[in-house]
Amino acid sequence: MFFTRGAGAHLVDVEGRHYIDFCQSFGPLILGHADQDVAQAVRLAIEDGWSFGACEPYSLELAEWMCSRLPWVDRIRFVSSGTEAVMSALRIARAATGRSQILKFEGCYHGHADAMLVQAGSGLATGRIAASSAGVPDGILADTLVVPLDDASALDRVFDEHGATMAAVILEPLPANYGLLPQRSEWLHGVINHCRTAGSLVIFDEVISGFRVGRGGMAEEFGVRPDLVTYGKVIGGGFPVAAYAGRADLMDHVAPVGPVYQAGTLSANPVGMRAGLAIVEKMDRLDGWRALNDRAAQFCSRLSTAFTDVRASIDIVSHASIFWPRVASSQPVRRVDQIHEHQRAWYAKFFHAALRRGVYLPPAAFEVCFLSMAHDDDILRSAVDLLADAAEEAGTP
Footprint of ligand PMP (CB under 6 A)? 26, 81-83, 86, 109-111, 122, 172, 177, 205, 207-208, 232, 242
* 349 catalytically annotated: no
CB of residue 30 to ligand PMP, shortest distance in Å:
15
Please identify, using beta-carbon distances, which residue of 240 and 288 lies nearer to ligand PMP. 240
Catalytic option among 19, 233, 347, 360:
233
Query: Residue 19 or residue 239: which is nearer to ligand PMP going by CB?
Result: 239
Please report which helix (H) or strand (E) contains residue 94, including its range: helix 82-97
Nearest to 241 by CA among 45, 55, 77: 77
Nearest distance, CB of residue 104 and ligand PMP, angstroms: 11
Residue from 205, 244, 282, 360 carrying the catalytic annotation: 205
Give the orientation angle of helix 185-198 with respect to helix 152-162, to 10 degrees.
10
- Hey, how many other C-beta atoms are within 10 angstroms of the C-beta on 50? 14
Marked catalytic residue, from 109, 231, 347, 360: 109
282 is catalytic: no
- Give residue 83's identity as a one-letter amino acid code: T
320: amino acid identity, one letter: A
Q: Which is nearer to ligand PMP, 111 or 397 (CB)?
A: 111
Strand boundaries in 215-350, DSSP class E: 228-231, 242-246, 314-319, 322-327
**Cβ nearer to ligand PMP, comparing 122 with 343:** 122
Does the active-site annotation cover 233? yes
Residue 204 vs residues 90, 125, 221, 370, 384: alpha-carbon distances, Å: 11, 21, 13, 20, 33
Q: How many CA atoms lie within 13 A of 256 on its CB side?
A: 0
* Closest residue to ligand PMP using C-beta atoms: 82
Q: Backbone phi, then psi, for 316, in 5-degree steps?
A: -100, 105
φ and ψ at residue 162, rounded to 5 degrees: -120, 0
Q: Is-contact 143 102, C-beta < 8 A?
A: yes
Q: How far is the CB of 120 from ligand PMP (least distance, A)?
A: 10
One-letter-per-residue 3-state SS of 328-364: CCCCCCCCHHHCCCCHHHHHHHHHHHHHHCCEECCCC
Minimum distance, C-beta of residue 162 to ligand PMP, in the bound complex (Å): 23
Which of 175/270 has CB closer to ligand PMP?
175
In the complex, the smallest distance separating the C-beta of residue 194 from ligand PMP, rounded to whole angstroms, is: 21
- Residues with catalytic roles: 109, 205, 233
